[in-house]
Amino acid sequence: MNGRSDGRSDGRSDGRFDGRVALVTGAGSGIGAGCAARLAAEGACVGVLDLRTAAARATAAGIRSRGGTAMALTCDVSDEKQVEEAVATLVAAFGRVDVLHSNAAVLDADVYGRDRELDSLDVAVWDRTMEVNLRGAMLAVKHTVPAMPDGGAIVITSSVSALVGDTVHAAYGASKAALIGFTRYVATMYGSRGVRCNAVAPALVLTPNAQRALTPAQLADKAAERLLPWACTVEDVAALVSFLCSDESRCLTGQTLVLDSGTLAHRPQHAVHQSRHPL
């Protein structure tokens, strides 16, 4: 994997991941879809895995329409048999796995939307959050590492919610915090085999779903918390994931990289005050 990416989106490879096979979970939309497209544009054969069959197929079809190579895989990442079968299907098609981006998370209204105050939290919401976000990552690693004959790169999507508290979403935040610890364990267990494992912790990423879900006032509050005048985009996350999966980051492992436009680098009230009372 030599050379730097120029961020092409037309499916033509610049050689960074030529001959490599990548698996991206939760790749039917949002961050996962963007990262799958980026890896494919840089030469990887990509397994596009999602619980939603139509979404996985749409992402894979989009990659192929731009000249890339992709296979759609339908899987509930919390189900070990399904994960094992999905990885086996990818390996049967391409012979190996070199890159895993474990990105799947439960964000639907029935679970994430009900992850509110602890004193009224349905335990089923907590359990399902842990099943998908945490167990799903463990199962993805468990079944892909044996298919990495020459070492490989694993990137796990955590969140800034792992690093700070909030008045809601305790289950989500706890699951994402656990993933940071899990990242270190994977890096430690498999480093001698040449397998690297890092995590990315994005703040709000302006996916279409996020922009639909948040009110203008909420978006304004998020903007006031940032040091930089722009929010993170899917392309920003994809660029970081691609770097962490490439040989350019060959000495990085066990790390968590925060992608938040400076949100956690300061006390947010300073930025809020500045936005309301500019100098």
Q: Are 169 and 111 in contact (CB under 8 A)?
A: no
Q: Which of 112, 172, 185, 190 is catalytic?
A: 172
Q: Are 210 and 269 in contact (CB under 8 A)?
A: no
Distance, in Å, from the CA atom of 190 to the CA atom of 192, rounded to the nearest integer, reads 5
Which runs of consecutive H residues, i.e. helices, occur in the chain? 30-41, 53-65, 80-94, 123-130, 136-144, 170-190, 208-213, 216-225, 234-245, 268-276
- The owner of tokens 């935040």 is 173
Distance, in Å, from the CA atom of 175 to the CA atom of 251, rounded to the nearest integer, reads 27
Going across the sheet that includes 152-157, the strands are 69-74, 45-50, 21-25, 99-102, 152-157, 195-202, 256-259
- Catalytic status, residue 172: yes
Q: Are 145 and 164 in contact (CB under 8 A)?
A: no
* Residues taking part in catalysis: 172
